[in-house]
Amino acid sequence: MNAELENLQATIKRKYSFKYKPECSESFKTDIKESQIIPLTIEVFKILEWPVVFKDKNSVEAKIKANWNKLTEKITITKKVSGRIEVHSKTVKGGNFTDFGRNSKRTGLFILLFKKLATEYNESGKLVELETELEQQDSWADYEIPTELPKPKEFPKPNVTLSIIGGLIIAILFGYFVAFLSVYFIYIIGIYELCIGIGIGYLFGEVLKKTNYVEFKSIQFMVGGMLIIMFITSQFTAYKWMISENNIPGIGFFEFIKMQLEHGLTLKDLNTGWIGLTLSWLFQIVFPYFLAIAKIAGTTANFIIEKIPEEVLEYTIYLFDMGKLESEVRAELSQKGWKKRSDQDDVFQAIAEISAFQQMNRE
């Protein structure tokens, strides 16, 4: 934010909000044309460097960057009747039950800058330019319909067998790794699970890309199985190493597990017993599972989108924006070389993933 905007914001009186996710709402009236409100709102966000995450005919949403370049606040501008505009700012991440007036500063700054630009741009004629520019964007006026599209990329058929084999290898390797840490080093609960979850998520995500397998419901079951196999492998490997190094014959694996449960889990000077140990084992499976699933979800979603050339995605979105039905879009794609229904399904799936990313970015 430049010095002029900082000086403008300094004139705004703070209004404190006390909530889990603090917020502030204000409204004001403008005399500019109703069709110019959204274009000018986008222009204000551009000047303030608040990235727009959503817009339609009646509202615009933007996120505000805080420390470490994180988008932690959202401001929503809604066009009401008779030239009235509602400005709502909300802390969406890192809420501390009070915003120290930051949301009111943002709503106030938007209102002041909007009014200032409304006067200046109306006199200079730039308001009409912004209105025309947005109308052209929304109507795809500058879009050139391609005469041909890039051909579908060649990918192997989805292979669930290779996916399972790859996941099994990863689970066993991580099981050995966990056993090694448990026997020869201090196992730090939380830190190791974090690394395991991210590691399994990354490696299995790469396997799924190679096998072209993106059926997410099945993937969730696979990852659950991987974490269970990893846990069993780690316990059995630790059992073998401890029996071998301590030269303790005659103790079976299940007896080894029973001995651990009887000894329990000790945290500093507190022995939590078998309940604490059981909960720690569950944590070793459940926490990495959710981390791995989150990592894999992002990897597979990006892979689904990257499979489709950008020109094809843009053309398909254009067809839907023009009000075409799915059957009509399939016919148009078929005429331009995307004849296989499976290739068309891949295009629709990629668009669905893009929409999901956009929706997630709004939250």
- The structural domains of the chain, with segments of one domain joined by +, span 3-139, 160-306, 310-362
- 34-46 burial: b if 16+ Cβ within 10 Å, else e: eebbbbbbbbbbe
Q: Tell me, what's the pLDDT at 7?
A: 78
Q: Tell me, what's the pLDDT at 350?
A: 95
Calculate the average pLDDT of the chain. 89
Q: Tell me, what's the pLDDT at 232?
A: 94
Specify the CATH superfamily of domain 3-139: Kinase associated domain 1, KA1 (3.30.310.80)
Compute the distance between CA of residue 205 and CA of residue 291 in angstroms, rounded to an integer: 12
Question: Confidence band (pLDDT; 50, 70, 90) for 213?
Answer: very high
- Cα distances from 123 to residues 118, 119, 128, in angstroms, run 9, 6, 10
Q: Tell me, what's the pLDDT at 251?
A: 80
**In this structure, how many other beta carbons lie within 10 angstroms of the beta carbon of residue 184?**
10
Q: Tell me, what's the pLDDT at 54?
A: 92
Residue with tokens 């990257």: 306
pTM of the full predicted structure? Answer: 0.77
Q: Tell me, what's the pLDDT at 91?
A: 86
Share of the chain above pLDDT 70, in %: 94
The Cα angle at residue 286 between residues 284 and 292, in degrees rounded to 5: 100
Instruction: List, in order, residues 6 or more apart from 271 with CB less than 8 Å away.
Output: 264, 265
299-303, 319-323, 356-360: the lowest-pLDDT one: 356-360
Tokens matching residue 204: 């299995």
- In the chain, the amino acid numbered 244 is S
Q: Tell me, what's the pLDDT at 173?
A: 96
- Cα distances from 42 to residues 35, 133, 267, in angstroms, run 13, 11, 55
- Give tens-digit pLDDT for 261-295: 877 776 666 777 888 888 888 998 999 999 999 99
Nearest to 77 by CA among 43, 127, 100: 43
Compute the distance between CA of residue 357 and CA of residue 300 in angstroms, rounded to an integer: 12
Q: Tell me, what's the pLDDT at 69?
A: 55
Question: What is the 8-class DSSP label of residue 143?
Answer: P
Instruction: List, in order, residues 6 or more apart from 220 with CB less than 8 Å away.
Output: 293
For residues 216 and 246, which has the higher predicted lDDT (pLDDT)?
A: 216
For residues 198 and 19, which has the higher predicted lDDT (pLDDT)?
A: 198
**93 pLDDT exceeds 80?**
no
Nearest to 30 by CA among 79, 89, 88, 103: 79
Radius of gyration of the chain (CA): 28
Phi, psi torsion values for 357, nearest 5 degrees: -65, -45
Tokens matching residue 264: 């329990």
Q: Are 89 and 66 in contact (CB under 8 A)?
A: no
Tokens matching residue 140: 């795809």
Q: Are 172 and 233 in contact (CB under 8 A)?
A: yes
- Give tens-digit pLDDT for 23-42: 899 999 999 999 999 999 99
3-class state of residue 93 by DSSP: coil
Question: Confidence band (pLDDT; 50, 70, 90) for 68?
Answer: low
Q: Are 172 and 230 in contact (CB under 8 A)?
A: yes
Q: Tell me, what's the pLDDT at 67?
A: 54
Compute the distance between CA of residue 253 and CA of residue 227 in angstroms, rounded to an integer: 19
Nearest to 353 by CA among 307, 315, 321, 322: 307
Q: Tell me, what's the pLDDT at 102?
A: 86
Tokens matching residue 132: 């025309």
- Cα distances from 89 to residues 28, 61, 66, 143, in angstroms, run 14, 10, 14, 34
